[in-house]
Structure 1
Amino acid sequence: MMKVEHGIITGGSSGIGLETAKLLMEAGANITLIARDGEKLEKAARELEKLCPEREVLTLVADVSDRLEIEAAMMNSCDRLGTPDILVISAGVAYPGYFLEMPVKVFEQTMSVNYFGALYSVKAVVPLMVKRGKGTVVLISSGAGLMGLYGYAAYSPSKFALRGLAEALRGELKPLGIKIAVVYPPDTDTPQLRTENLTKPPETQEITATAGIWKPEDVAEAIVRGLEKGEFAITPGIEMTLLNRLHSLVSPGLNWYFDRLVAKISKQHQ
């Protein structure tokens, strides 16, 4: 198990973020959880404290899309628990739907949270990591960040942006002692997924079902294993692994297959 003294996790009140926090605590880390909902944060903190009562859990309420809020939360965390060994960017939103029906504000909000929220967090913490000479940043992208998917016209671009940020930072920060990892999970049984399913078009449900639904604890374990192996791209499951490695080769076939699924759903709703 990797040695971590302090880990900061945005979106850490549930899902992949919370399960990753549990594994980091078991590895000896004090944890800072940052999210928007104070009640959910306190519930998560009690769960973590019960799991590892000897470790410290700090909860901070902040909206990652508000630069001043998230910068203040990051500085508060670092002042109280020290520069983190690892920063996990798990905060994110998804509002699937038909492109022609989605207002522009959905695209703007999705990018504000998923991309700029990550950027603000990284920008606040990485200079402190560089000053210390070590640190790890984990960006949680998505399978939809490897291939644009039907119904995810707002979500996929925001997750593609995280991939671009990770790839750009990897080489630039490596000589400074900072490791970057980007994670491409398939659909995962989280509160976010349940919210997504309220507006997810049937065509999108059919397409995303091809990779199955993962448990958040399994994704968290894949993240920690990937970090221990020094992986840059962490791809839980064979589907994400193949898509990451062979995207240019397999995307024509996938598009053909997905088009057939969409046509089938369309016929059913005529």
Structure 2
Amino acid sequence: MAPEGQTHQHSLDVGDIPPRSRTTVNTLQTLDRGIDALELISASPSGVSPQELADRLGVHRAVAYRILSTLELRFLTVKGADGRFRLGSGILAIADRYLAQCRTSAQPLLEELAETTGLTSFLAVAEYGQAVAVAVAEPHIGTFGIRYGVGSRHDLGHGADGVAILAGRPASPSDTDAVRAARANGVAITQGELQRGTVGMAVGLDISPPGVLEASVGVISLGDLDDLDGDLVLPLIEQVRLRLSNAL
């Protein structure tokens, strides 16, 4: 078993990643080990061998192989020609269902935000270097001319939604001035980056565990910066951010 207090470090190779700390009681050990195995595999682009998994989990190689075989039967892992196990296609199905549940949880909150502010509201997530809108709400009065709907995607470096997500990451020399400003101010504000004549305001979500899902919530308004009442709108976005961070 892993020593108490050790946690995963997802940016490292599998040899450096200890199993999660078991600080709670009444957990099912076999299931816990299976989840640890998935996290270890997901953190290793080259995959994991049964022996490596056994070493990291502190179990016999036969136990590690049974865990991997069980996950493989559920298409959560796949064994390559090199004998190493990688994530399987079943993970994608779970991820899609998770995003669908995110959309269900977010929609009523976004609708409330849209009605309160009179602006288009959104929840966006990071996906392969892009910001993707997974939920959008319009006020009943309508926001004619704004081209932003579910499935809209663009480079993370543009638009308040993407900038807010980047601001939630550790500082990097490659950060743009907009990302640095968003990190310092706690809010991303952009003008005309995705569509002329619009202004965006967004904040990043705090979702646990960190790094699993990067997301932002915010609004889009027609006009320029002077037309967006940040003192009124930002606290409302922050309320939704807090509620979504707890719900997702």
TM-score normalized with structure 2 length: 0.30
TM-score normalized with structure 1 length: 0.28
Q: Give the number of the structure whose alpha-carbon radius of gyration is greater.
A: 2
Give the structure with the higher percent strand. Answer: 2
